[in-house]
Amino acid sequence: MIKVEHVSMKFRMANDKVMSLKEFLVAVLKRRLTYEEFQVLDDISFEVKKGEVVGIIGKNGAGKSTLLKIIAGVMKPTSGKVTANGNIVPMLELGSGFDPELNGRENIFLNGAILGYSQEFLQEKYDEILEFSELGQFIDMPIRNYSSGMMMRLAFSIATVVQPEILIVDEILAVGDEGFQNKSKARMMELMSGGTTVLFVSHSLKQIEEMCDRVIWLDNHKIKMIGETKEVCRAYEEYWMQ
């Protein structure tokens, strides 16, 4: 389903991120525009089978998010290859695909389109999304008036209404009140048992243990360990104990 082969990612970082023409010219003139090679991922290879739920853990800056971006196709690796069969749906951060001026209904279609759903599909699933989000009459209100919880409920409902073939989740499960959290967890479970392949990044070992079949532990830009959830989690915990 997903095949990651010898993926390496290097950033060429200028001493300072040059953001303006003036800074750039000054730096060039002073010959201070030296670059630093910065290795984010170093020869990563693994495979994920269809329907598997794979967790990715590791320290901050270990390269987890970069790896997800490469798999999602928004970033090109410096070397190596990623093949993914099936449509990839990323779970967007709090409302990043929303427009605050539009109402909930219009945002469902906008956000759905960004995630790659078709118009017919969204029309068919509209009621289901509305019901799951528990927004009721608020759906016709511009979402700039929504609370962050309401917005997140809407985003979650849109992202999970399909059975995406590959779902990418970058820590966003703590959504809404207790009730909605349980509901969304149940929805995730349902998705995972329904054959969706899930890549899941989290710092919460509890969540990982609950949901994942396998875990990849990234450390120092390499795969430190890959295997059964329990084993990897135990090793990870021990690592932090030291």
Count of residues binding another protein (CB under 8 A)?
A: 34
d(CA 108, CA 123): 10
In the bound complex, what is the minimum distance in angstroms from residue 21's beta carbon to another protein?
5
Q: Is 22 in the site for another protein (CB under 8 A)?
A: yes
Q: Is 225 in the site for another protein (CB under 8 A)?
A: no
- Residue 50 carries which side chain, given as an amino acid letter? K
**Which of 66/196 has CB closer to another protein?**
66
Q: Residue 143 has what DSSP assignment?
A: G
In the bound complex, what is the minimum distance in angstroms from residue 146's beta carbon to another protein?
16
Q: Is 162 in the site for another protein (CB under 8 A)?
A: no
- Residue 102 carries which side chain, given as an amino acid letter? L
Q: Is 21 in the site for another protein (CB under 8 A)?
A: yes
DSSP 126-184: HHHHHHHHT-GGGGGSBGGGS-HHHHHHHHHHHHHSS--SEEEEES----SSHHHHHHH
In the bound complex, what is the minimum distance in angstroms from residue 91's beta carbon to another protein?
9
> Counting every residue, how long is the chain?
242
Q: Which among 48-56, 100-108, 130-138, 145-153 is the span making contact with another protein, rule CB under 8 A? A: 100-108
Q: Residue 131 has what DSSP assignment?
A: H
Residues 140-159 that bind another protein (CB under 8 A): 142
- Residue 231 carries which side chain, given as an amino acid letter? E
**Of the candidates 226, 157, 140, the residue with the CA atom closest to the CA atom of residue 191:** 157
Q: Is 101 in the site for another protein (CB under 8 A)?
A: yes
Residues that bind another protein (CB under 8 A): 11, 17-22, 24, 69, 72-76, 88, 90, 92-93, 96-97, 99, 101-102, 106, 109-110, 113-119, 142
